[in-house]
Amino acid sequence: MGNKNKTISFRVSEDAFEELRDTAEERDLSLSAVFRDYVDTFVAHEGAVRVVPEHELEARDEDSSSFPPTVEVPKRFIREHERLELEADHLREQLDEYKRYVNHLRERVEDDDEVIHLDDLDPDVGGEEPSFVSDRDPDASGDEPSFRIG
């Protein structure tokens, strides 16, 4: 399709509009040319653009500070960041695996016709108290006792 132009709209106060128009007239430019230049500069510098008056720009050139400011990051910080990203990816994969396993178990439970809920077996919930009866012969010595639930 090629390179199509798009329209951008700006809303500014009347005072700001008058100042922009005066600035454009001083430089013998149209307002749209001013904004096109600004947008082109903005895109070329990846959003690191600041509009400043010319007298501040001249003072800044003497100061020799750069915009945007740059910071050097130690390699160990970058390595630690990469390690943490890998660990986070691994944990996400584990979480997905656990979710799949839980879904699998839910499907198995839904497929089973006979499901016994542990609450139904709990004596405190309304069932009878289980009685434990020993089959141990009191005369036999040294044998392990055997129990049955009855």
**Crossing angle of the two packed helices 31-44 and 14-26, in degrees rounded to 10:** 90
Q: What is the pLDDT of residue 124?
A: 62
Q: Residue 23: which domain range?
A: 14-63
- Split into its structural domains, the chain has a count of 2
**Residue 30, in any domain of the structure:** yes
User: In this structure, are 57 and 79 located in the same domain?
Assistant: no
Q: Which long-range contacts (CB under 8 A, 24 or more apart) does 109-117 make?
A: none
**Residue 138, in any domain of the structure:** no
**Single pTM value for the model:** 0.32
- Reference 53, options 26, 13, 28, 30; nearest CA is 26
pLDDT band with cut points at 50, 70 and 90 for residue 1: low
Q: What is the pLDDT of residue 110?
A: 80
> Which tens digit of pLDDT belongs to each residue from 32-80?
887 888 788 888 887 777 777 777 766 655 555 566 677 788 889 889 9
**Residue 38, in any domain of the structure:** yes
**Residue 33, in any domain of the structure:** yes
* Residue 31, Cβ density class (10 Å: 0-12 exposed, 13-18 middle, ≥19 buried): middle
User: In this structure, are 97 and 56 located in the same domain?
Assistant: no
> Which tens digit of pLDDT belongs to each residue from 88-103?
999 999 999 999 999 9
**Residue 45, in any domain of the structure:** yes
**Residue 134, in any domain of the structure:** no
